Amino acid sequence: MYRSKRGRLVGFAYLAPALAFVLVFTVYPLGQMMWMSLHNWSLLTPPVWVGFDNYERVFGDRQFWVSFLFTLKYTALITPVLIVGGYLLALLTAHNSPLRKVTRTVVFVPVVIGLGVSSLLWYWLFSADFGLVNRVLMDLGLVSGPVLWLGVDADMSNLAISTSVVWKVIGFGMILFVGAIQAVPTEITEATMVDGASHRQRVTRVILPLTLRTVLLVTLLSVIGSLLAFDQFYIMTAGQPQNETATSVFYVYLNSFPYLKLGYGAALSMVLAVTILAFTVVQLLLARRSEV
Amino acid sequence: MWERSGGNKQMVDMLVEAWNVKNPDCRIKLTYIPHTEMVGKIAQGIASGEVPDLMGMDLIYAPQFEKAQQLVDLTDRIKEWPELKTASKGHMTVATYEDRLYGVPLYADVSALFYNKDLFTKAGLDPDKPPTSLTELRQYADKITALGGDVKGYYLPGNCAGCNIFTVGPLMWASGATIEAKAKGDEPLVGDGVKQVLQFARDMVQAGNVHSGDRTENGETFHLQFGSGKVGMMGTGNFNITLARQQNPGMKFGIALLPGMAPNSSASFIGGDLVVVPRGSERVADAVNVMKFLLSDEVQVEVYAKALNLTTRTDMVDNKYFQAEPLVQDVAKALEVGRTPYTLTFFEQINSPQGPWLKMLQRAYYTDDDLDTVIADAKKAMKDIAGQS
């Protein structure tokens, strides 16, 4: 431990680059956003101080709460699929045989595609007039007419978009899980086999507990990513039907840029940021408890 | 110069190239900004003081920037130009704020009724007689839909606010109604035409005259619908002429004006871009020269018309290139009956996917809600938005 003044200075010097990065790219923008949220500002005219008026408006803004609840619903739908699906895929492909490596690659490839591109791709696949999904379903005789996947029913839209996002990102969780599973010492798994544990018992009682930190990490990333969902809904439903699939970030975007209400958009962002922070803290606390 | 990216890129490139060839010592360096980011980008440029010398701007947003005094007042420099007397009136309406002039047309997009002559013939309709009222349009649509298969008589973009103001808005205007609240205290959605058109559209949907998939149209596949050959009639824009030909070379089609309730009533939405000078531009005189160049007879004919783009002056419509291409001539008639909404809150009232305009249309098209209630709700929301401006 550095106790001398020189030692503290050296420690600070090591810390300085990271601290500067955080100050410039996190603390300053957050401060700026806080300042903006206390003003009415269209960018075209000088900002006008309005105190906490924007925050009062947020709490009385019905659309914000519709968007917020829908975002939570989307998060609740997609997160378990990504975690369970990613883990199952990882269990299937964790061992390094050529076929499993190829499978891992195939599942991972969509991760490197941009979310905007993948959303556009799926928009066309789900298109009622030109889409492959409806064509296949109709050719197989499963439906008599095209299914209106997007923008007509909120739950159907949520399901269709979640499907596209699962295709896009499940490989990311899988790769993290594969790394965690491969890090489980072979002596332990071999010992359980010698003790006569079945495969299911090995997974549930040995591998899963030893990879729990990764499960929590992937959950955290998935929850944060889902609470910040924007591109897929902007492209695939534009918030329809009747704004029921407009996510929180979509609503922030609309207010900040097309509507040019930067102050109100900043206030919405602050509320969203605090919510995400609360989720993160809860998850980190859970993670800490699981380590005890 | 900044310009938004989009379907008119090719034409703007040609205009800039024509200027650069004639003015090698004063070349335009053109930068495209993604269409959806243009307003934010301009606003950011203004806030940071980094603006281009001139820019193309979606005409619908011009009043907002004019009111904020972020565009250079060009009145004293251009008001005497004779070309302005015939410049697209929709463009000039939004280029004017409190009797001051801030820009001139860069290009025009107008809406019109495209109709499939092949389907007209099959349905026993005269392919040279497009509908002249909404009553006729409904009758024709019924006959075309009766052909069966994948074919439907009409098209309604159910999830696209912009497509609807472009193609359904004119049906209301032609029926004597107004749509947007122009400013605080102004009454939106005035006139019987609003309810009549909503009823017409609801009846079309309920009669099965539109494809069920139209309901999901958010604008992404709008431009492909007419060329599919499965739609008898559809409100769309001049850009669809070339596109439909590329998509379906064998298809014969015609263009008429979008009708209203009364026989021979018509209207059109004039969209497109203005060319304006942002406050802070260091080359206002050069920018004004570019405007003069764009409105000149030679550029109107040899650049706009030659490439079969609409001229931005109505007196230039009668030219050798359009004479050889009757469809462009037909669509150009829309410039004379067209209009452009004027409001400082166009995006929030009309164009936003979360705005009251689209919400009203969706309730009219796809629910059985009482139309008076639907209109009253939209009126209130539009007035609230205009009241905040």
A257 with B40: Cβ contact below 8 A: yes
- Give SS3 for B264: coil
- Residue A19 resides in a domain: no
Whether A288 has a pLDDT exceeding 80, the answer reads no
Number of neighbours of residue A242 by Cβ within 10 angstroms: 17
Picking from A44, A238, A260, the nearest residue to B159 by CB comes out as: A238
Q: Is A156 on the interface with B (CB under 8 A)?
A: no
- Residue A98 resides in a domain: yes
Mean pLDDT of A256-280: 90
**Residues of the domain holding A251:** 62-291
Bridge partners for B108 per DSSP: B272
CA distance A278 to A272: 10
Domain spanning B110-267+343-387, CATH architecture: 3-Layer(aba) Sandwich (3.40)
Number of neighbours of residue B18 by Cβ within 10 angstroms: 17
CA distance B307 to B319: 12
Of B14, B20, B233, B5, the C-alpha closest to B120 is B233
A148 with B212: Cβ contact below 8 A: yes
CA-to-CA separations, B288 to A218, B275, B276, B279, in angstroms, rounded: 57, 10, 9, 14
- Residue B44 is predicted with a pLDDT of 82
- Residue B217 is predicted with a pLDDT of 84
A127 with B216: Cβ contact below 8 A: yes
Angle at B143 between CA B141 and CA B148, to 5 degrees: 100
- Cβ burial of B216 (10 Å; 0-12, 13-18, 19+) is buried
CA distance A58 to A54: 6
Which residues contact residue A248 at a Cβ distance below 8 angstroms, ignoring those fewer than 6 apart?
Answer: A64, A67, A68, A71, A227, A268, A272
Six-digit token string for B216: 């999901």
B212 with A260: Cβ contact below 8 A: no
CA-to-CA separations, A120 to A112, A149, A235, A237, B219, in angstroms, rounded: 15, 14, 7, 11, 12
Confidence of residue A290 (pLDDT cuts 50, 70, 90): low
Q: Is A242 on the interface with B (CB under 8 A)?
A: yes
Angle at B339 between CA B338 and CA B344, to 5 degrees: 160
Q: Is A275 on the interface with B (CB under 8 A)?
A: no
Domain count, chain A: 1
Long-range contacts of A269-277 (CB under 8 A, 24+ apart): A269/A33, A269/A37, A270/A33, A270/A34, A270/A37, A270/A55, A271/A55, A271/A58, A271/A64, A272/A68, A272/A227, A272/A248, A273/A30, A275/A68, A275/A227, A276/A224, A276/A227, A276/A228
Sort residue B251 into left (φ over 0), alpha (ψ -120 to 50) or beta.
Answer: beta
Mean pLDDT of A50-75: 93
- Residue B280 is predicted with a pLDDT of 87
- Distance from the A225 Cα atom to the nearest Cα atom in chain B, whole angstroms: 23
Alpha helices in chain A (DSSP H): 5-22, 28-37, 53-60, 62-93, 98-108, 115-125, 132-139, 154-182, 186-194, 199-202, 208-210, 212-227, 231-236, 248-256, 262-291
Mean pLDDT of A241-252: 90
Residues 45 through 84 of chain A touching chain B, CB cutoff 8 Å: 45, 63
The amino acid at B32: Y
CA distance A191 to A188: 5
> How do the domains of chain B map onto residue ranges?
2-108+270-339, 110-267+343-387
Residues of B in contact with A123 (CB under 8 A): 220
- Residue A96 is predicted with a pLDDT of 82
Six-digit token string for B151: 């074919």
Distance of CA B383 to the CA centre of its chain: 23
Report the relative pairing of strands B100-101 and B253-256 from DSSP bridges: unpaired
Which residues contact residue B371 at a Cβ distance below 8 angstroms, ignoring those fewer than 6 apart?
Answer: B195, B198, B199, B202, B364
Residues of A in contact with B47 (CB under 8 A): 43-44
Picking from B43, B215, B216, the nearest residue to A43 by CB comes out as: B43
Picking from B65, B213, B225, the nearest residue to A148 by CB comes out as: B213
Q: Which chain B residue shows the shortest CA-CA distance from A255?
A: B348
B216 with A149: Cβ contact below 8 A: yes
Mean pLDDT by 10 residues, chain B (389 residues): 82 94 94 80 82 91 88 95 92 93 94 97 97 97 95 94 95 97 93 97 97 85 91 94 90 96 95 92 94 96 91 91 89 88 89 90 95 97 88
- Residue A52 resides in a domain: no
Domain B2-108+270-339 and domain B110-267+343-387 have a common topology = yes
- Residue B7 is predicted with a pLDDT of 66
Alpha helices in A27-153 (DSSP H): 28-37, 53-60, 62-93, 98-108, 115-125, 132-139
Q: Which residues of B touch A (CB under 8 A)?
A: 37, 39-40, 43-44, 46-47, 64-65, 68, 70, 158-160, 211-216, 218, 220-221, 224-225, 228, 347-348, 351-354, 358-359, 362-363
Picking from A63, A129, A259, the nearest residue to B213 by CB comes out as: A129
- Residue A3 is predicted with a pLDDT of 64
- Residue A291 is predicted with a pLDDT of 63
Q: Which chain B residue shows the shortest CA-CA distance from A148?
A: B213
CATH of domain B2-108+270-339: 3.40.190.10
CA distance B213 to B158: 9
Cβ–Cβ pairs < 8 A, chains A and B: 96
- Residue A20 resides in a domain: no
CA distance A253 to A239: 12
- Residue B194 is predicted with a pLDDT of 97
Mean pLDDT of A243-249: 91
- Distance from the A148 Cα atom to the nearest Cα atom in chain B, whole angstroms: 6
- Distance from the A240 Cα atom to the nearest Cα atom in chain B, whole angstroms: 7
- Residue A22 resides in a domain: no
DSSP string, B345-384: THIIIIISTTSHHHHHHHHHHH----HHHHHHHHHHHHHH
CA-to-CA separations, A286 to A215, A291, B70, in angstroms, rounded: 12, 9, 52
A240 with B362: Cβ contact below 8 A: yes
B347 with A259: Cβ contact below 8 A: yes
Domain CATH for A264: 1.10.3720.10
| pTM across the whole model | 0.80
- Residue A239 resides in a domain: yes
Q: Which of B37, B215, B231, B354 should we substitute to test contact with A (largest number of A Cβ atoms within 10 Å)?
A: B354
CA distance B253 to B247: 13
Q: CB–CB of B111/B266 below 8 Å? A: no
Number of neighbours of residue A161 by Cβ within 10 angstroms: 27
Which residues contact residue B233 at a Cβ distance below 8 angstroms, ignoring those fewer than 6 apart?
Answer: B113, B114, B115, B116, B130, B131, B137, B140, B141, B144, B153, B154, B155
Residues of A in contact with B44 (CB under 8 A): 43
Of A184, A125, A173, A120, the C-alpha closest to A149 is A125
B352 with A240: Cβ contact below 8 A: no
A242 with B221: Cβ contact below 8 A: no
- Residue A258 is predicted with a pLDDT of 80
- Distance from the A242 Cα atom to the nearest Cα atom in chain B, whole angstroms: 6
Report the relative pairing of strands B55-58 and B266-276 from DSSP bridges: antiparallel
- Residue A50 resides in a domain: no
CA distance A145 to A137: 9
Whether A292 has a pLDDT exceeding 60, the answer reads no
ipTM of this predicted complex? 0.70
Picking from B43, B214, B352, the nearest residue to A260 by CB comes out as: B43
CA distance A44 to A196: 72
Q: Is A96 on the interface with B (CB under 8 A)?
A: no
Distance of CA A268 to the CA centre of its chain: 19
Residues of A in contact with B214 (CB under 8 A): 128
- Give SS3 for A50: coil
- Residue A166 resides in a domain: yes
Of B198, B133, B131, the C-alpha closest to B164 is B198
Residues of A in contact with B65 (CB under 8 A): 44
CA distance B171 to B198: 10
Q: Which of A41, A42, A43 should we substitute to test contact with B (largest number of B Cβ atoms within 10 Å)?
A: A43
Q: CB–CB of B226/B234 below 8 Å? A: yes
Give the tens place of pLDDT for each residue, A99-120.
Answer: 888 999 999 999 999 999 999 9
Which residues contact residue B178 at a Cβ distance below 8 angstroms, ignoring those fewer than 6 apart?
Answer: B172, B188, B189, B190, B191
Radius of gyration of chain B, Cα coordinates, nearest whole angstrom: 21
